[in-house]
Each structure stands twice: as C-alpha cells, then as structure tokens.
A and B are shown apart, each in its own frame.
Chain A
Amino acid sequence: EPEVTQTPSHQVTQMGQEVILRCVPISNHLYFYWYRQILGQKVEFLVSFYNNEISEKSEIFDDQFSVERPDGSNFTLKIRSTKLEDSAMYFCASSSRTGWSDTQYFGPGTRLTVL
C-alpha cells in the first residue's frame, strides 16, 4: 500500500539554525500538507500546497517557514531560524483531491528538537 514517508525521523538542532524537513507524498497525490504536534498538545494545521503554491496557511506559518516541491516527488518544510518553541513532531500529509471527498494520509512524522 502506498504511504507517505518522511526524513529524518528525528532532527536535533541549535536555536537559530535552519532545518529542512523532507517528505515524499503518495505518488499520484496532488495536495500536500504540513501539520505539527507540540508535545502534549493537539495536531495543528500549518500549511497546504497545491499546484506549486501555498493554498492555505495558518497563523503559525509565519515568515520563518517555507514549503517547496523541488522535484516531482519531494515536499519540504524549511524553518529558517529555529526557535525553542518550534520543537514538535511535524507531520506531512497528502491527498489525491480536495474538498468534500478528501482523505489526507499522514507520514510517520519528524520529531524536531531545538536546543
């Protein structure tokens, strides 16, 4: 069964450093998402991406964040200058369509620890 994959599984970085989290969505999917889960809190939407542009972003997704689909298979989340409060599990998701019949399939997550 096709699945979303994410690398690395765990990333440790120093505050102020840039990180790039990588995702390979399901191959025929067209819509891509990033969510995050701070330890002990709910999963929160960050951004959705379609047709090589951001279709929606949350208040969390400020100028420090960016997303990119650099080729036909990868989808990345970049945090330019990490803060302690960026420590969280980051989930990538993809779906084949949007709207009423959308089902988002999630990857295993990348745990980001900012020291």
Chain B
Amino acid sequence: GAGVSQSPSNKVTEKGKDVELRCDPISGHTALYWYRQSLGQGLEFLIYFQGNSAPDKSGLPSDRFSAERTGGSVSTLTIQRTQQEDSAVYLCASSGTLNEKLFFGSGTQLSVL
C-alpha cells in the first residue's frame, strides 16, 4: 500500500478483555516497530521486528503484551486481560532498512473502560 495501515483506528474495550491491533507496513519494508503514546506523552518503544530475525521485545511492559509478524509483513499486537493503564494510542511504524526514517501509521486509539 501507499503507507502504513493500522486497524482498527479506535477500539473501546472492557477491562479484562483481550484486544488485537493490526499493522500493515509499507510493502518491502523489513523493519517494523510498535510504539505506545499516552496522552501528552512521548513515544514509548514496545517491540521491533527486523526481517526474519528474532524480535526485540525489550520494551513490552508486561507479559500481557505480545506481538507477531507473519511472513515478514503484517504484524499483530495482542494485549491480554486489558487494564485501564493500557489506554493509549498504539503506533506502528516501518522502515526500509536499518537506521532509516520511520513511516508511521495513523495509530489505534485504545480505550479500556
């Protein structure tokens, strides 16, 4: 596609439910990143995929968070047993090669009630 696509754009869920957020990166981009942005805050790194290498999960805040990237393209971020503090905008970004600029999607606004 022309840009990084994320779905859904908005997700409202109840505390304790599981959610899945999807990211479709720019075709051909090997690097994919997930960041989280709370209201008025900076971007908090969550997880990084590069090609077929093992992902860097060092930013995941708890074991309730997981992500996968199938076929080196689409990525899914899963949050289990959501908590109110998980409410934030989840941003996905991709880049063509290492140390290149990041292209961000429009994000998924997650609200946990």
Decide if A and B are genuine partners: no
Hey, which bits of chain B sit against chain A, CB under 8 A? none
Hey, which bits of chain A sit against chain B, CB under 8 A? none
